[in-house]
Amino acid sequence: MPELTLNNGVTIPQLGFGVFQIPPEETRVAVTQALDAGYRHIDTAAAYRNESGVGAAIAHSGLAREDLFITTKLRNGEQGSPRAAFEASRKALGVDWVDLYLIHWPVPSQGLFTQAWKELESLYAQGLIRAIGVSNFLPEHLDELLSKSTVIPAVNQIEAHPTFQQAGLAQKSRSHGMAVEAYSPLGQGRDLENQVVAELAAQYGATPAQVVLAWHLGLGNIVIPKTVSPERMRENLAAAQIKLSGPDLARISALESGTRIGADPALAAFTQL
């Protein structure tokens, strides 16, 4: 499994397993199957309401905690009390520490993310979190955060897939030493129907999903595809063995259409999450 080294020296598996929209009652089984398939990086969030399922799978896996990389995220409605929110997540996960803790959305209308970041810096200094980062932060949010922070975020997790790459945001994030992590890396399946992707899948003897994931890995993105199918879990993991040529990476990059699937972070509040 390829790994990236974050800006504080912590290593992260580049291909992980995401649990967004997996119902809480199904999460334990899905994560258990993912761990059995070979995943060691699990991405959850308090807003997904399935951290306890992730924790149950970890507890019954028999794997050493040091061999796992667990990411979770601060709920938007708890930016005013991040320490309590973190402790609730840690309890639900059943772990002594979290490997990566992210501010899930900037929610600029609240004006709390810089204050919340200070608390994350404190938790990081205490050793309760191995790396801290952000999610859905646009350039203006990064500028504000960096102007008031001591610790530079290790990761910016953003929507990124062939038809919505946010290349400028990715470049800005990397210019400040942040790794880029892509959620909805397959465009929620829409990008898999593209003719270029289909041609490359045939060329490489791979599935369309494997080709798109290999493109992400070739760009240096961390990716967290979600599936509840054990067969697709294994297929997605095998994408790490596929190395696309430079011209083929460029063919996929040329599919950019500016088509966002998720919410616009400049406007999104989701304070109920």
* Residues designated as active site: 48
Token match 């990064």: residue?
A: 142
Here the tokens at position 132 are 């801290």
Q: Which of 152, 140, 211 is nearest to 179 (CA)?
A: 152
- Residue 176 labeled ligand binder: no
Spatial distance between the Cα atoms of 221 and 179, rounded to a whole number of angstroms: 7
What are the Cα distances from residue 43, in Å, to 54, 58, 62, 207, 268?
Answer: 9, 13, 19, 23, 21
Token match 């095998």: residue?
A: 238
Spatial distance between the Cα atoms of 197 and 207, rounded to a whole number of angstroms: 9
Do 26 and 51 meet the contact criterion of CB atoms below 8 Å apart? no
Here the tokens at position 147 are 């102007």
- What residue numbers does the annotated binding site cover? 104
Binding residues for substrate: 104
